[in-house]
Amino acid sequence: MQFRIAAYGEVRDENGRVLLTRRKRAGRESGPWHLPGGVIDHGEPPKRAAGRLVTEHTGYEVTVGRALEAVAVARRGVHTNAIIYSARVQGGADSGAFDEHGGAEAAEWVDPARAAAEAHSPFVSAALGLADDRLAGRVDKAPQEARPVPPAKAKKGRRRRGQRFGAYGVVADGGGRILLARIAEGYPGGGTWHLPGGGVDFGESPEAAVAREIYEETGQEALVGTLLNVTSFRHRRAIGPEGYPLDWHGVRAIYSATVPDPSAAQVVEAAGGSTSESRWWDAAALDDLPLSAAVEDALQVVDLKNLAAQA
């Protein structure tokens, strides 16, 4: 099985039309509509990739905004986790188009009703808010291996690359407490307090992964809310429990989540995992804790008091 990370741009004009592409064959546009975007490069921040890929596929220079949603598609042994960003054309919809450059794709501003009625990719469905059973979690076959694993140790003098997409939750209860999980020693960031979450399994949606991981790491039944942020990091010499260095690229989708009926936090996943303990913390106590970079990033974009009020 193969895991990939992709980034797409949802670009609309003043009339609500969506910028889409499709193949050109025998001088004519044909095939399904696609959202401009694609697979990100190793180490490339997804937001930057979205801007680059929209320009490459359409010819328009765009300004990329916030992450709108994270979705997944799993078929034929390939699981693609994708982030869809809002984007707008610099200079307006008449500032140029890929068609003029003679590429293999044609870019067009398409009315959403037309796009919905004609053949289109599952990522177009996600952008238009359409139901689509190609989006996770429907899979063609039960996977033999549920989630990506670190690549094997490289030959001497070379370093293997690894890439992972994870989904995490900023989890609060009605009392304003935040739920954190401690990274086990031997894992990158061992000993620090981290957002509960982890890798997305084959055929699993990011939202489902958040709920599953929160339960496995803390024993809490959480209601997953909105996508707060997407962050990216790269460790060129990350050393995990495997004991050898990797050029490691991680992308994190961070969601809000609430626990209406909280209980004492406890790790319920099998022993020997990446979480050593979990606990509810008052927001005031976070200043004295060793926090992971993911927690620090999340606290910059979420108001814990407002989140707790939703619990």
pLDDT digits (tens, 9 = 90+) for 53-92: 999 999 999 999 999 999 999 999 999 999 999 999 997 6
Query: Phi, psi at residue 123, to the nearest 5°?
Result: -70, -30
- Report how far apart the first and last C-alpha atoms of the chain are (Å, whole number): 38
Determine which of 33-37, 137-141, 275-279 has the lowest per-residue pLDDT on average: 137-141
Contact 11, 18 (CB under 8 A): yes
CA dihedral 213, 219, 222, 224 (to 10 degrees): -10
Helix (H) or strand (E) holding 295: helix 293-299
Whether 209 is in a domain gets the answer: yes
* 99, 20: one domain: yes
- Domain end residue (candidates: 104, 128, 152): 128
Whether 115 is in a domain gets the answer: yes
Number of domains in the chain: 2
Kindly indicate the confidence band of residue 154, based on its pLDDT and cuts at 50, 70 and 90.
Answer: low
Given a cut of 90, is residue 300 above it in pLDDT?
Answer: no
Q: What is the pLDDT of residue 91?
A: 79
Whether 139 is in a domain gets the answer: no
* 173, 300: one domain: yes
- Identity of the highest mean pLDDT range in 45-54, 178-187, 277-286: 45-54
Whether 153 is in a domain gets the answer: no
Whether 149 is in a domain gets the answer: no
Whether 184 is in a domain gets the answer: yes
Kindly indicate the confidence band of residue 143, based on its pLDDT and cuts at 50, 70 and 90.
Answer: very low
Kindly indicate the confidence band of residue 24, based on its pLDDT and cuts at 50, 70 and 90.
Answer: confident
Q: Note down the domain range covering 186.
A: 160-309
Kindly indicate the confidence band of residue 241, based on its pLDDT and cuts at 50, 70 and 90.
Answer: low
- Measured CA to CA in angstroms, residue 179 lies from 40, 77, 199, 223, 297 at distances of 31, 34, 18, 13, 15
* 175, 120: one domain: no
* 216, 280: one domain: yes
Q: What's the whole-number mean pLDDT along residues 126-132?
A: 96
pLDDT digits (tens, 9 = 90+) for 29-46: 678 999 999 999 999 999
CATH number at residue 21: 3.90.79.10
DSSP 294: H
Given a cut of 70, is residue 290 above it in pLDDT?
Answer: yes
Measured distance CA(167)–CA(226) in Å, rounded: 12
Contact 3, 79 (CB under 8 A): yes
Whether 173 is in a domain gets the answer: yes
| Residues 40, 46, 52: CA angle, nearest 5 degrees | 70
* 107, 165: one domain: no
Measured distance CA(208)–CA(185) in Å, rounded: 27
Q: What is the pLDDT of residue 32?
A: 95
Contact 197, 213 (CB under 8 A): yes
